[in-house]
């Protein structure tokens, strides 16, 4: 049984676009590389041919993974979410109680996580620790660097 992935419409469209790109341009480029390598003679000792076939296998694996993600995707409608608790798609402002620094993150699915955009996965240690908390709650999170405590300052959708 495959794992359900919760996605925003933006995340779903991004994956769909990447899949289409791999199926068209990606496959065409790999086929061209294989054809060029075949022209170079004996396939049993042709490193370029082996590399092109490996690239084809990796491309097909990536295509399969993206197709599975889309097949098991559930779109999230932000208007249906409860803004009183931390849930997926919420923007949550937290304060690190050790260094007193505030930071705002948006909790998203694994495939949409991007730390440079302050989007963290709900399955990350911090994401899991924040889920279900309300404003004023203290979340104790086990991270690779040890236990950390965060105070929930604000939740918005």
Same domain, 25 and 64: yes
The answer to whether residues 136 and 152 touch, using CB atoms and an 8 Å cutoff, is yes
Quote the pLDDT of residue 156: 86
pLDDT of res. 90: 87
| Token code pair at residue 49 | 């041919």
Collapsed DSSP state (helix, strand, coil) of residue 81: coil
The CATH code of the domain that includes 108 is 3.10.50.30
Q: What is the mean pLDDT of each successive set of 10 residues along the chain, which is 157 residues long?
A: 74 92 94 86 76 92 92 80 80 91 90 88 88 90 86 89
By residue range, what is the domain housing residue 34? 5-75
* C-alpha separations of 13 from 8, 49, 122, 155 in Å: 9, 34, 20, 26
pLDDT at 94: 92
38 & 62 share domain:
yes
Same domain, 67 and 96: no
Q: What pLDDT is recorded for position 54?
A: 92
């Amino acid at each position: 049984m495959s794992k359900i992935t919760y996605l925003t419409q933006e995340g779903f469209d991004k994956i769909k676009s990447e899949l289409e790109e791999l199926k068209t341009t990606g496959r065409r480029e790999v086929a061209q590389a294989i054809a060029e390598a075949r022209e170079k003679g004996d396939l049993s000792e042709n490193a370029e041919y082996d590399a092109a076939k490996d690239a084809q296998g990796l491309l097909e694996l990536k295509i399969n993974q993206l197709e599975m993600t889309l097949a098991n995707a559930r779109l999230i409608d932000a208007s249906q979410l409860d803004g009183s608790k931390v849930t997926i798609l919420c923007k949550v402002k937290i304060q690190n109680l050790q260094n007193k620094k505030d930071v705002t993150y948006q909790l998203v699915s694994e495939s949409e996580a991007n730390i440079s955009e302050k989007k963290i996965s709900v399955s990350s240690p911090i994401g899991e620790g924040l889920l279900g908390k309300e404003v004023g709650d203290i979340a104790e999170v086990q991270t690779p660097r040890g236990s950390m405590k965060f105070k929930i300052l604000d939740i918005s959708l």
